[in-house]
Structure 1
Amino acid sequence: MPARSRLILPLSVAGLAVLAFLAWQANRAPAPAAASGGGGGGGAAVVVEVAEVRTMALAEEALAVGTLRSNEAVVLRPEVSGRISAIRFEEGQMVRRGVPMVELDAAIQRAELQQARAALALAEADARRTEDLFQRRFVSGSARDEAVSRLQVARAALELATARLARMSLLAPFDGIAGIRQVSVGEYVKDGEALVNLEDISVLKVDFRLPETLLPRLQPGQALEVLSDAVPGEVFAASVQAIDPLVDAQGRAVLVRARLDNAAGQLRPGMFARVRLILAERPAVTVIPEEALVSTAGDVQLVYRVDDGRARQVAVRTGLRRDGMVEVLDGLTAGERVVSAGQLKLRDGAPVRVAAGG
């Protein structure tokens, strides 16, 4: 019995060693080929989403930001000093061209005008009498010339008095909306002092800058769209009015001015505006979703095209990008399918399976 016990212990140890060796060999065995996610052979197919290469109309455009300005704008300032005798407009209301807006006390100027008229009447009568006497040879030619000269001086004095009186009344130079006045009736104002602003906002101008590289493609009359954060969701049609001949040497940009209709009064001068200038309309452009692109070293862009159940790497050359779509200039044709999701698991030639609904 003791001899048998001495044999059992070595045999047990040997058996455990054999089992440990077999387990170690099993762990060293390579994984089955079917466990590999990529590869070109008979591996398991990778589930992906695909998108069809299609054509669509695409506008070639330039984006910029600008500022809205009044079609016409002026700050009324008196040319002479004086006391305000009347204010004939309501703030924020429409004012017609030629209507008096502010009047200064013109009592002295009216008196000077009456004096000039009386002097002119006297000079005219004197000139007639002198001419009559000259015709009858009672006065010399020099006397007649002096009378004519006095008449001309009197006429000039009347024109001067009329102009001085007119300067005491500030008229609206165009149809527009009156701003907030800075003065009151009875206030004494100096020449050049700001009284009120007048803005014509029935039509607005929008000034914006574009890179100098676009200058050959700009021309008056081009269509553009204007958007403002103050009126979300609204798109206002405009057209290029003028292009500044001078390019800004600091920013290498050219100033462009466009006009847009604002009859509804939704926009106001001074507002920030986003501008979309349409440079060209392209009716049939080959496009794919942006998420289908795979960037690589050296800025080379690839896509995975699905051919007969396998993913094939294709180098593409891209162009415009718009609303999540990117133009493909070379490498794909309409109707082909590209992988739009799941590219990270793919290699060239890997089998793929399109996800349900993909």
Structure 2
Amino acid sequence: MAYKKKYAVMALAGICVASGAAWWYQNKSASSTAPAAAGAAPAGGQRAPAVEVAKVDTITLIDETQSVGSLRSRQSVMLRPEVAGRVKQIFINDGQRVEKGQLLVQLDDQLQAAQLAQAKAELSIALANHKRNQELVAQNFISKRSLDESAAALDVAQAKLDLAAATLQRLKIVAPFNGVVGLKQVSVGDYLKDGADIVNIEDLDAVLVDFRLPERFQSKIQPGQKTQLNIDALPGRPFAAVVQAVDPLIDANGRSVGVRGCIDNRQQQLRPGMFARVKTVFGVRDKALVIPEEAIVPQGGRTFVVKVVPGEQADTLVSQRVAVKVGVRQPGKVEILEGLEAGDSVVTAGHQRLQKDGTAVRVVDMSRPAGPAAAPASSPASAPGAAASAPQPVATPAVAPVAKAAPKPAAVSGPNPCLKG
């Protein structure tokens, strides 16, 4: 019995010694492997939370927005006759350029011409009667009433002449402005009712672009502002437009405002109906402060960032929550108007570990590989053990045929049609 107790006491003592040794070894290993980097171990011996940071950068920021629009003619009209008639003669070809007042289509005017001649004859008789009555009144051969009646008859004859001339003129279809005619819808001999389509005319010296912007930009866009257009049908050819007008009515369905711009098209490169991508620039700031958008922490209607600043102890970094005012947002970046300065470090990942200000942090760089950095690949000539006598083949670059540059549009002269009053 005593023999068994002896071995039990020895086993218990061995277990105690092994436990103490394990505890001592564990504490020694933890203390020896504690990081010595700045901000790595705060007071209390616990490992500081790891965060990723980014510097507040200074760039040239362009405050702009993009939208889509459609091109339309500055002036466009479908010519239609005001009176019915038969087409007597057509003086234009499809796609022809015409001048203002040029005769395009002539309707049959035989009857109206005869009415005009009749009105002229009646006017001549009324005028002769009125002159004769004036002479007779001067000699007291007739009453003044007869003179008044002849004067009224003269006015009626003049009105009939003007009416006949106006009716005859309406049978002439003329160009209301300078432009290019489209495709004719009629032929010689067609009988047209009043209001029938004849041909369209488009003023292509300047084209308009209509696009819409969100309502938050209605205070930024102003007439005279410059915009840039990219046309899918003409890749690589940007066009400049001048904002002519902003619609005072906000669309209640889309909460957007309509904008109309004008493009100088005297080179005749653009056509109405084209699809356009419009880039509107509101301003350019040369030294704008920007940070990655993942550094923004919205909370309670305000915007914060967590800045990393030096701690009270040497070689330590702590967190500091700062309220900021944001400006323009771009893909991946946010402009900071107030709250930060150039060169400040802000946390981009690990915000959830920082519950209060003054928390010690450990900055890590996740862009670097976790393992040892790979040695740069050396060229065969400089690699150790490379055969010096083995010649390396030299690849001859293929010479691509030189493509002929597209001919530039001919220069145009004269004032910009978009700047005309």
User: Does 1:245 find its partner at 2:251?
Assistant: no
Q: When you count strand as a share of all residues, which structure comes out higher?
A: 1
Q: Identify if the C-alpha distance between structure 1 residues 305 and 127 changes in structure 2 by more than 3 Å, giving closer, same or farther.
A: same
Question: 1:172 and 1:275, CA in 2 relative to 1: closer, same or farther beyond 3 A?
Answer: same
| Structure 1 residues 353 and 156, CA gap change in structure 2 (3 angstroms) | closer
Counterpart AA for 1:275: V
Quote the residue 1:107 is aligned against.
Answer: 110
1:161 CA drift (Å): 0.7
1:131 partner amino acid:
Q
**TM-score, normalised with respect to structure 1:** 0.75
Q: 1:144 aligns with which of 137, 147, 150?
A: 147
| CA-CA distance at 1:337 after TM superposition | 6.5
Deviation of 1:102 (Å):
1.2
- Asked whether the 8 Å contact 1:57–1:285 carries over to 2, the reply is yes
In 2: Cα distance, 1:228 partner to 1:94 partner = 25
C-alpha root-mean-square deviation of aligned residues, in Å?
3.9
Residue 322 of structure 1, CA deviation: 3.5
Structure 1 Cα separation of the partners of residues 332 and 364 of structure 2:
24
Aligned position for 1:73: 76
Name the structure, 1 or 2, with higher relative contact order (CA <8 Å, separation 6+). Answer: 1
Q: Aligned letter for 2:335?
A: E
Question: In structure 1, which of residues 345, 350, 356 is the aligned counterpart of residue 362 of structure 2?
Answer: 350
- Offset from partner CA, 1:273-306 (integer Å, 9 cap, x none): 222223333332112455x747799897757869
SS at match of 1:275: strand
Residues 1:40 and 2:48 aligned together:
no
Please list the CA deviations of residues 154-175 of structure 1 after superposition, one character each: whole Å capped at 9, or x if unmatched. Answer: 1111101110110001110001
Q: Which one of 151, 163, 167 corresponds to residue 166 of structure 2? A: 163
Unpaired stretches in structure 2, ≥5 consecutive residues: 1-17, 355-359, 369-421
Task: State the distance in 1 between where 2:255 and 2:332 align.
Answer: 30
Of stretches 262-271 and 246-255 in structure 1, the one that deviates more from structure 2 is 246-255
| 1:1-358 pair list within 5 angstroms | 40-41=40-41, 53-288=56-291, 293=295, 317=324, 318-322=326-330, 325-330=333-338, 332-335=340-343, 349-350=361-362, 352=364
CA offsets 1:78-112 (integer angstroms, 9 cap, x no match)? 01111111111221221110001111111111111
> 2 CA distance for matches of 1:160 and 1:268?
41
Q: CA deviation at 1:212?
A: 3.1
Cα displacement string for residues 164-208 of structure 1 (whole angstroms, at most 9, x for unaligned residues): 110001110001111111111111111101111111121122222
Richer in helix (by share): 1
SS state of the match for residue 64, structure 1? strand
Aligned residue in 2 for 1:10:
none
In 2, distance between residues paired with 1:309 and 1:169?
Answer: 91
74-83 vs 52-61, which deviates more? 52-61
- The superposition leaves residues 324-350 of structure 1 with CA deviations (integer Å, 9 ceiling, x where unpaired) of 54323355432457799x989x99733
Cα distance in 1 for partners of 2:199, 2:303 equals 61
Name the CA distance, whole Å, in 2 between partners of 1:93 and 1:311. 76
- 3-state SS, counterpart of residue 125 of structure 2: helix
Contact 1:311–1:351 (CA under 8 A) maintained in structure 2 = no
In structure 2, the residue corresponding to 1:185 is in which secondary structure?
coil
Rounded to whole Å, the distance in 2 between the matches of 1:148 and 1:72 is 46
Identical positions, percent? 43
Secondary structure of 1:156's aligned partner: helix
Q: 1:77 to 1:296 in 2, by over 3 A?
A: closer
**8 Å Cα contact 2:40/2:316 also seen in 1:** no
8 A Cα contact 2:34 2:41, kept in partner: no
SS of the residue aligned with 1:349?
Answer: strand
Separation of aligned partners in 1, 2:316 and 2:268 = 59
Q: How far, CA to CA, are the matches of 1:309 and 1:241 in structure 2?
A: 59
Q: How far does residue 315 in structure 1 lie from its aligned partner after superposition?
A: 6.1
Q: Which piece of structure 1 moves more, 295-304 or 206-215?
A: 295-304
The residue that corresponds to 1:12 in the other structure is none
Residue 310 and residue 233 in structure 1: after superposition, are their counterparts in 2 closer, same or farther (change >3 A)? Answer: farther
Equivalent position amino acid for 2:361 in 1? G
- Residues 1:353 and 1:323: Cα distance change in structure 2 (over 3 Å): closer
Counterparts of 1:140 and 1:150 in 2: how far apart (Å)? 16
Instruction: Quickly say closer, same or farther: Cα 1:209–1:109, change in 2 above 3 A.
Output: same
One-letter amino acid of the structure 2 residue matched with residue 349 of structure 1 = V
Bigger mean CA offset, 225-234 vs 346-355:
346-355
Letter in 1 for 2:40: G
**8 Å contact 2:295–2:346 — kept in the other structure?**
no
Q: Secondary structure at the match of 2:236?
A: coil
TM-score, with length taken from structure 2: 0.65
Is the 1:309–1:351 Cα contact (8 Å) retained in structure 2?
Answer: no
TM-aligned CA distance change 1:155 to 1:284, over 3 Å = same
